[in-house]
Amino acid sequence: MLSKVVQTEKNRWLVFTKPNPRARLRLFLFPYAGGSSLIFRRWQEALPADIEICSVELPGRGSRLREPAFATMPPLVEAIAQAIYPYLDKPFTFFGHSMGAIISYELSRYLRRRHQKVPVKLFISGRRAPQIPDEEQSTYNLPEPEFIEELRRLNGTPKAILEHPELMHLIMPQLRADFAVCQTYVYTSEAPFDCPISVFGGLDDHPVTRSNLEAWREQTTASFSLRMFPGDHFFVQTAEQTLLRILADELSALTMRFY
């Protein structure tokens, strides 16, 4: 059974909340920098029953805490592609927030180039369009005190963790690696997708402006939508219920195509 398959060492990349071999659509979820599959633990309950939820567990977190995290995009994307390819045997879609958004985008391009497979829809959250250069200074290589202050400013790491030296020592390599994946990313131009793209953003996420989100429209020849939610960069947590209602509606519309 699938629930046993994903527990093997070979498939340690994948966490199925509720295995459903009869699902009509498989939704892969990609976390933000520093995040693990746990951030999506409540999503299955809020999404349609004929959607199989699969969270991607990156090295350096969760059950893979002792594994070294990837620090650059290309080898990370290639490794994910190898891990999930056996699970692309039915229609699939990707949702990624922030770092997860750009990973899912590059993974989609990789799968298109290598395997002629693309998601039926891309859900992009909290990330500027890839063709827009990052004008902010790199922070992944800051000295530890300055790096911790940057984490505090971003408001994504709980205060209890920031003030726990042993925990910070444990997760610091993974956080730096995640930041490096994002901050060393280099965009290369390719043809836009022919699948729809839905983009989500936070009204108070000032570094990721509405115009930067609108620019994702250039990455598809199909339909495009943008929705803004109350909250900062981590609106996926503070506005989770609203986001999941909208996502459930969009996924239900997609699955109607496969009846």
198 is annotated as an active-site residue: no
Nearest alpha carbon to residue 182 among 123, 110, 238, 128: 128
Query: What is the maximum alpha-carbon separation in the chain?
Result: 55
- Please tell me the distance from the alpha carbon of residue 217 to that of residue 192, in angstroms, as a whole number: 9
**Token pair for 195:** 């699948």
* Contact status, residue 56 vs residue 84, Cβ threshold 8 Å: yes
Sign of the CA dihedral running 231, 234, 238, 242: positive
> Helix H segments across the chain?
2-5, 43-46, 73-84, 99-115, 144-154, 159-162, 165-183, 210-214, 235-238, 240-255
- Please tell me the distance from the alpha carbon of residue 207 to that of residue 128, in angstroms, as a whole number: 9
Considering the candidates 36, 37, 55, 98, report the single residue annotated as catalytic. 98
Give 160's Cβ-side CA count (13 Å radius): 0
- Please tell me the distance from the alpha carbon of residue 11 to that of residue 55, in angstroms, as a whole number: 12
Helix (H, G, I), strand (E, B) or coil at 54: strand
Show which residues are catalytic: 98
